[in-house]
Amino acid sequence: MSQHLLLPLVILAISPTPGAFQDSALSPTQEEPEDLDCGRPEPTARIVGGSDAQPGTWPWQVSLHHGGGHICGGSLIAPSWVLSAAHCFVRNGTLEPAAEWSVVLGAHSQDAPPDGAQVRAVAAILVPDNYSAVELGADLALLRLAAPARLGPAVRPVCLPRASHQFAHGTACWATGWGDVQEADPLPLPWVLQEVELRLLGEAACQCLYSQPGPFNLTLQLLPGMLCAGYPEGRRDTCQGDSGGPLVCEEGGRWFQAGITSFGFGCGRRNRPGVFTAVAPYEAWIQEQVMGSEPGPVFPIQPQEPQSGSREPTEENCTIALPECGKASRPGAWPWEAQVMVPGSRPCHGALVSESWVLAPASCFLDLLSSGRPPRDLEAWRVRLPSRPRAERVARLVPHENASWEDASDLALLQLRAPVNLSAAPRPVCLPHPEHYFLPGSRCRLARWGRGEPAPGPSALLEAELLGGWWCHCLYGRQGAPVPLPGDPPLALCPAYQEEEEAGRCWNDSRWSLLCREEGTWFLAGIRDFSSDCLRPRAFFPLQTHGPWISHVTRGAYLEDQLAWHWGLEGEETEAQTCPPHTEHGACGLRPEAAPVGVLWPWLAEVHVAGDRVCTGILVAPGWVLAATHCVLRLGSTTVPYIEVYLGRAGASPLPQGHQLSRLVTSAPPLLCQTEGGSWVLMGMAVRGSRELFAAVGPEEAWISQTVGEAHFLPPSGSPYWPPVGNNLCPPDLARASGSPRAVLFLLLLTPLIQS
Ligand code: 4AZ
């Protein structure tokens, strides 16, 4: 819990084996004082705002080891008893054997065998009969130690509340543990016990927060015996590995254990406070289990009544927190836009992701690394942020470990020397969690990224609609590749730009990041348009896979839950799907099912012949367009006229203004049929003068494939499939009817000509 979250050592093998802690001086029969005290650590100074606990501050905190490492926390409640969480010990409905567990007491850091630490074997694990799953409550357990702990400054029991004890909501309490410091981010060495101050939330306030719908429609019904602590804005919390550890509140100079760390939705997320097992309601169960054990746990009388008015069940506001990131007064005026100024280079554009960190492409700086200039010399580097009078100084540059060889990881984080005050500007952009699912149809825009020149025109204001994951994935993916389901990280994000279609231009000289909006909040969704040249739709590398790295480095980036999740409804696939046949350039014959904007038929080409005719061509390979001969050649002529081919704009938008009247003669429409795999296949071209009679393309396969090696013919198994009645995509098979005309076709070799 560093700044806030606790940390697990779950996966890391802890170096000292339990034996290393063995306290040989301890005699198991050692007598404990009769008047066992509780909840009083030896006085020590605590670092205010710090996250490492001072040794001796929380002497009841224990670490529960299994298989050689820390798994859960616990609290010493009597010399022979430890309180923890049931879910630490129950696997698939079965209690794990006590003999596999050991309890480490008096540890501060788990790095080295700590002075004064003791290890005890576990004689018994007791779990309430009605425990079945964390979200159903009763998540507590008692561990009887094989030998009592020897009490001292580093090992003391905590006080337990009686059943009647009431903890006022709003009370500042403390949670402690060695759990993760962020989701999936273990506590770093030297594994010092972490502490975090959490406020008790009343039942109504907590239920209100957990009733806010979240991704995967996750909400939670709080049950009696559960207790919440944390903040609506999140950011301070317990996490995996803290489970079983105590939440303690000071009353009358003693520390009472109000809760046992149990679960939550993620760690430190907005409107998702930590859920604890309330200890007070389990007084009777605890007393029953420890009966006859001397000395037993201490349940002091509540030292003072909580102030009236702050107790449950008084009225509580339902104050939910709104995102603190991703708000922009208008698109294009991005309050997170950062310019990294490195002497001798053009500014590099990035995004502010927290008070202290800027995310930018590593490629802006990698040349500095390779040219031998030490990147550590950041003295002259500056970062410009909106509305800041002076440029910020840079303390640290952290490139992504794969930055130099993987475009999808072309990322670096720059730490500012001093955190900036966040306001309307500068304000960080929101980052997606790995499971974020940007809905097809999401509205997205571009922001400058890296060293690219701005595109001419109102590029930053262009609005795109995100295409469906299946189409985007298969267009750039491999044949048979499984399409990621919602909740799995996508390999690409494809925005379609209506304006770009209309402008007939492409910006292959520019570098962009992709911002997508959910409920008025902007997320940095993708980086580095990786589609080459003018290939459309554009494709961006999704940023969400890097969320854990960013939060690990920054410990405070604004990762935000998905805000729009009405998916799984019509149109969106939720079943496993694989990609249809493809070429080395990606799948052929795919088009967006619901075609939000953009090109309905992405292979259609406008073939402009000698300035007076426009007919239809078909893109059959990156450099080749197939057209009907009668379109290209005038009757009786054998010389090829001047021809221009326009790609990527047919089917969606009308012909450009000014061309429309003189060139409205569109001839040789193609006949396309859809295969079972979803690909569209060119079956025929209309014969001269007809819109209904088609000449089959199939017989020309040999000629086409000899001329255009990369043209892709569907294998026999992908034979065209005729859709059910009522879905009349293709007319009867005229193309194969006997006596049907041979296609007379022209292949046009494309040369790049115009790039406006
Ligand atoms: C866990 O997995 C866990 N943020 C513990 C506490 C919380 C979440 C998960 C609360 O043990």
How many angstroms separate the alpha carbon of residue 289 from the centre of ligand 1? 26
Beta bridge partners of 608: 614, 644
Q: What percent of the chain has pLDDT over 70?
A: 75
Atom 2 in ligand 1: residue holding the nearest Cα? 240
Assess whether 243 carries a catalytic annotation: yes
- Local structure of residue 750 (DSSP, 8 states): P
**What are the structure tokens assigned to 10, written together?**
């779950």
Could you tell me which of 373, 141, 345, 159 has the C-alpha nearest to residue 256?
A: 159
The dihedral sign for the CA sequence 93, 99, 101, 105: positive
How many angstroms separate the alpha carbon of residue 32 from the centre of ligand 1? 35
CA angle in degrees (0–180, nearest 5) for 724-729-730:
100
Burial of residue 713 (CB within 10 Å: 0-12, 13-18, 19+) is middle
How many angstroms separate the alpha carbon of residue 40 from the centre of ligand 1? 27
Judge if the beta carbon of residue 549 lies within 6 A of ligand 1: no
Judge if the beta carbon of residue 84 lies within 6 A of ligand 1: no
Judge if the beta carbon of residue 200 lies within 6 A of ligand 1: no
CATH topology of domain 172-279: Thrombin, subunit H (2.40.10)
Judge if the beta carbon of residue 277 lies within 6 A of ligand 1: no
Judge if the beta carbon of residue 351 lies within 6 A of ligand 1: no
How many angstroms separate the alpha carbon of residue 245 from the centre of ligand 1? 11
**What are the structure tokens assigned to 270, written together?**
């907005």
Could you tell me which of 149, 14, 83, 3 has the C-alpha nearest to residue 554?
A: 3
Nearest atom in ligand 1 to 72's CA:
11
Q: Which of 4, 65, 70, 87 is catalytic?
A: 87
State which of 2, 87, 88, 238 you would mutate to test the pocket of ligand 1, scoring each by most atoms of that ligand within 8 A of its C-beta.
238
Could you tell me which of 674, 689, 686 has the C-alpha nearest to residue 745?
A: 686
Given 3.40.250.10, 2.40.10.10, 1.10.3720.10, 2.60.40.2250, which CATH number is that of 322-579? 2.40.10.10
How many angstroms separate the alpha carbon of residue 155 from the centre of ligand 1? 25
Neighbours of 545 (CB within 10 A): 15
Judge if the beta carbon of residue 295 lies within 6 A of ligand 1: no
Judge if the beta carbon of residue 239 lies within 6 A of ligand 1: yes
What is the DSSP annotation of 363-418?
HHHHHHHHTT--TT--TT-EEE-TT-SSPEEEEEEEE-TTTTT-GGG--EEEEESS
* CA dist., res. 349 & res. 70, Å (int): 43
SS3 700: helix
How many angstroms separate the alpha carbon of residue 240 from the centre of ligand 1? 4
**What are the structure tokens assigned to 369, written together?**
């690394």
Nearest atom in ligand 1 to 85's CA:
11
* CA dist., res. 572 & res. 574, Å (int): 6
Residue in the block written with tokens 């205010």:
48
State which of 242, 265, 277, 561 you would mutate to test the pocket of ligand 1, scoring each by most atoms of that ligand within 8 A of its C-beta.
242
Judge if the beta carbon of residue 261 lies within 6 A of ligand 1: yes
Distance of CA 407 to the CA centre of its chain: 19
Nearest atom in ligand 1 to 273's CA:
4
The pLDDT value given to residue 535: 60
The pLDDT value given to residue 713: 78
SS3 594: coil
The pLDDT value given to residue 533: 59
**What are the structure tokens assigned to 195, written together?**
């502490």
SS3 62: strand
The pLDDT value given to residue 749: 77
The pLDDT value given to residue 213: 83
How many angstroms separate the alpha carbon of residue 134 from the centre of ligand 1? 10
State which of 267, 275, 433, 559 you would mutate to test the pocket of ligand 1, scoring each by most atoms of that ligand within 8 A of its C-beta.
267
625-671 pLDDT, tens per residue?
Answer: 888 887 777 767 777 788 888 776 554 443 333 222 233 334 567 88
The pLDDT value given to residue 574: 55
How many angstroms separate the alpha carbon of residue 178 from the centre of ligand 1? 12
State which of 243, 247, 260, 269 you would mutate to test the pocket of ligand 1, scoring each by most atoms of that ligand within 8 A of its C-beta.
243
485-517 pLDDT, tens per residue?
Answer: 888 889 999 887 765 544 555 555 458 899 999
Judge if the beta carbon of residue 182 lies within 6 A of ligand 1: no
Could you tell me which of 651, 694, 639, 648 has the C-alpha nearest to residue 671?
A: 694
The pLDDT value given to residue 481: 78
* CA dist., res. 472 & res. 484, Å (int): 11
Q: Nearest 5°: phi and psi at 503?
A: -75, -15
Atom 11 in ligand 1: residue holding the nearest Cα? 240
How would you classify the pairing of strands 172-177 and 512-518?
unpaired
Judge if the beta carbon of residue 267 lies within 6 A of ligand 1: yes
The reported pTM is 0.80
Nearest atom in ligand 1 to 8's CA:
11
How many angstroms separate the alpha carbon of residue 132 from the centre of ligand 1? 17
The pLDDT value given to residue 31: 38
Cβ atoms 467, 596 nearer than 8 A:
yes
Q: Which of 139, 180, 185, 410 is catalytic?
A: 139
Nearest atom in ligand 1 to 272's CA:
4
The domain segmentation of the chain, as residue ranges, is 172-279, 322-579, 604-752
Could you tell me which of 58, 36, 149, 139 has the C-alpha nearest to residue 102?
A: 149
Alpha helices (H) in 424-568, listed in sequence order: 469-476, 498-503, 547-554
Assess whether 377 carries a catalytic annotation: no
Domain spanning 604-752: which CATH class is it, in words?
mainly beta
Average pLDDT for consecutive 10-residue bins of the chain (756 residues)?
30 28 35 67 44 89 96 98 98 96 94 80 98 97 98 96 96 95 90 94 95 81 97 93 97 96 94 96 98 94 68 66 96 94 93 98 83 70 97 96 90 97 97 93 90 64 81 76 84 76 52 93 92 70 96 93 72 62 67 53 79 78 80 74 74 36 49 75 78 79 82 60 35 42 71 46
Judge if the beta carbon of residue 264 lies within 6 A of ligand 1: yes
How many angstroms separate the alpha carbon of residue 519 from the centre of ligand 1? 28
Assess whether 139 carries a catalytic annotation: yes
The pLDDT value given to residue 565: 79
The pLDDT value given to residue 460: 56
Domains 322-579 and 604-752 share a fold: yes
